[in-house]
Structure 1
Amino acid sequence: MIRYTATLALLAAPALATTQDDVLSAQLRPGWQMENGAHMAAVEMQLAPGWKTYWRSPGDAGIPPSFDWSRSENVKSVTIHWPAPSVFELNGMQTIGYHDHLVLPVEIMPKDPARPMRLSVAVELGVCDEICLPASLSLTSDLAPPGASDPEIRTALAKRAATAGEAGVTEVTCSVDPIADGLRLTATVRMPDPGRPEVVAFETADRQVWIAEAVTERRGGELISMTELVPPSGAPFALDRSGITLTILAANGAVEVKGCPAP
């Protein structure tokens, strides 16, 4: 919680003479119609050199982005395909996100495949360098079939996290212990050692649960990572194990593991 307070302090810093337009520009890349009837497009953000923005689970010192697609026309659902993010360390704080340039693929399913789609999104996010700024984007694009293959979007799709099966994960278990204000969660993942430092990011189905920075170690073919979960009630709670996602980040990419059953 202390680190989040530190982030808010940065937002209030007097150096806000820097504006959003100085450090961030964005557009929708219209992409192409897929064989399943969905449309692949992307939100593209260009950041000034040295600036970064955050992943969906940014660490307790980061600012998670939010997306509002409600003003879109003939859109049934939107699925974001997150490229593997980077891990940043600054003043003892760990955050997770993207620097300089981000192409974020989005898969859009129409309500009526016979009608055209218009994609509209409002994005609230944070962008940071030595200071942090809150930023707001409002982007709109018509998605006319068939569109055209976009190498920038395909490159971003290729950077997605590998699944557990693709990464050679053979077993994952989580032990849960109550603590004064929530739960301690310890995950053990059997998977090949990439030979590089790994960072584990935990997510739960309930986004209101605060998640501490994980402490992670390797024991040969086992990756062991521990975090603490604190709900708004500040007390132990019933944890939905099927809603746990572990994302294992290393210099050569990411692995996403869904669900964490008991040992």
Structure 2
Amino acid sequence: MMNRSFFSALAGAALAAVPLAVSTPASAQFEGRSADDVVQVSLLEGWRTDDGRHMAAIQITMAPGWKTYWRAPGEGGIPPRLRLDPSSSVEGLQIHWPRPEVFFTNGMRSIGYRDDVILPVELSLSDDGAVEVDGRLDLGVCLDVCMPVTLDLYGLLPPEGNRDPSIAAALADRPLTRAEAGAGSATCQITPISDGLRVEAQMRVPSVGNDETVVFELSDPGIWISETSSHRDGDLVTAVADVVPPDAGPFAMDRSDLRITVLGTRMAVELQGCTG
């Protein structure tokens, strides 16, 4: 098997603010190019919603041919990770991930975004005025191999702001829910293996296009999940993966915690939880 612990501790979240300051480590070099040559990050400041949250977005622009990664990037990718200053007025955040692409490089599968991407970020705030945020973003940017990059992020979110059509378009490009897609609920068969569990899920999902890929996720980033093997018979999709905890032993998996995403070239569908 592949190295089950590699990248498993990195969580998928990111945040930025305006005006934006970016610093990159001097060691971040690839074929003579610095990180500044490869990736630029800016904040779309967004707007304050009716319920007091703030909808902003990170715009990541990369040099042609380069890519970065989705929250569950596969064995060949590095998920974004945010470390936010705890003294800020941000009490919580949620990224609304647009539908990613599936890449194959040197026989290894990874999942992410090519050239540029807008990641909508919804923030819960403790202050109804302008909010200063300060954090650090770790991410991987890749051509044939990956270059890890660290960006220092800080700035100010306005107390009002205007609805941004580019953020709205990124929100609209997220995976569909089960109800939106007209999909059925998922069932799971769980079998103990020597170092964890084997999970086989079945769900009725309409066609999502070519290059269909199924991804399993759990909320604990320390739990390693293999790439799925999957096949489709009409609307019935069957996917199987191994789930291995940090101590590589038997454990009880909460079926309701399993997030299943079916990715394709036309759309993606996300289902939360499965039944026995």
Q: TM-score, normalised by structure 2?
A: 0.87
Amino acid at match of 1:199: T
Deviation larger for 70-79 or 224-233: 70-79
Partner of 1:2: 2
* Superposed displacement of residue 121, structure 1: 2.9
Contact 2:209 2:265 in 1 (8 A): no
Contact 1:205 1:240 in 2 (8 A): no
Of 84, 89, 109, which residue of structure 2 is paired with 1:94?
A: 109
Of 101, 118, 138, which residue of structure 2 is paired with 1:103?
A: 118
Amino acid at match of 2:138: E
Answer yes or no: is 1:157 the counterpart of 2:171.
yes
Partner of 1:49: 64
Of 174, 199, 214, which residue of structure 2 is paired with 1:185?
A: 199
Amino acid at match of 2:104: E
Contact 1:242 1:259 in 2 (8 A): yes
Answer yes or no: is 1:172 the counterpart of 2:186.
yes
* Superposed displacement of residue 170, structure 1: 1.9
Q: Give the distance between the partners of 1:18 and 1:28, measured in 2 at CA.
A: 24
Partner of 2:253: 239
Note closer, same or farther for the CA distance 1:72–1:86 as it changes in structure 2 (3 Å cut): farther
Q: Give the distance between the partners of 2:113 and 2:30, measured in 1 at CA.
A: 22
Deviation larger for 70-79 or 33-42: 70-79
* Superposed displacement of residue 108, structure 1: 1.2
Partner of 1:132: 146
Answer yes or no: is 1:70 the counterpart of 2:85.
yes
Answer yes or no: is 1:116 the counterpart of 2:130.
yes
Cα deviation digits, residues 112-142 of structure 1 (max 9, x gap): 32x3211223111111101210101122221
Contact 1:200 1:216 in 2 (8 A): yes
* Superposed displacement of residue 199, structure 1: 0.4
Answer yes or no: is 1:227 the counterpart of 2:241.
yes
Gaps of 5+ in 2: 8-26
* Superposed displacement of residue 5, structure 1: 9.5
**Secondary structure in 1 aligned to 2:37?**
helix
Partner of 2:213: 199
Amino acid at match of 1:252: R
Gaps of 5+ in 1: none
Answer yes or no: is 1:36 the counterpart of 2:51.
yes
Partner of 1:59: 74
* Superposed displacement of residue 77, structure 1: 1.4
Partner of 2:227: 213
**Secondary structure in 1 aligned to 2:256?**
helix
For this pair of structures, how many residues does the alignment match? Answer: 257
Amino acid at match of 1:171: S
- Provide the alpha-carbon RMSD of the alignment: 2.2
What is the aligned-residue identity percentage? 42
Note closer, same or farther for the CA distance 1:2–1:157 as it changes in structure 2 (3 Å cut): same
Note closer, same or farther for the CA distance 1:247–1:193 as it changes in structure 2 (3 Å cut): same
Deviation larger for 63-72 or 88-97: 63-72
**Secondary structure in 1 aligned to 2:73?**
coil
Contact 1:32 1:147 in 2 (8 A): yes
Deviation larger for 138-147 or 238-247: 138-147
Note closer, same or farther for the CA distance 1:15–1:135 as it changes in structure 2 (3 Å cut): closer
Q: Give the distance between the partners of 2:87 and 2:164, measured in 1 at CA.
A: 22
Q: Give the distance between the partners of 1:125 and 1:233, measured in 2 at CA.
A: 27
Note closer, same or farther for the CA distance 1:22–1:4 as it changes in structure 2 (3 Å cut): farther
Contact 1:16 1:133 in 2 (8 A): no
Cα deviation digits, residues 162-219 of structure 1 (max 9, x gap): 1111111122101111111111111100122345331011101221111111101001
Q: Give the distance between the partners of 1:261 and 1:16, measured in 2 at CA.
A: 49
**Secondary structure in 1 aligned to 2:243?**
strand
Partner of 2:41: 26
Note closer, same or farther for the CA distance 1:248–1:140 as it changes in structure 2 (3 Å cut): same
Q: Give the distance between the partners of 1:208 and 1:168, measured in 2 at CA.
A: 32
Of 84, 97, 103, which residue of structure 1 is paired with 2:99?
A: 84
Amino acid at match of 2:212: E
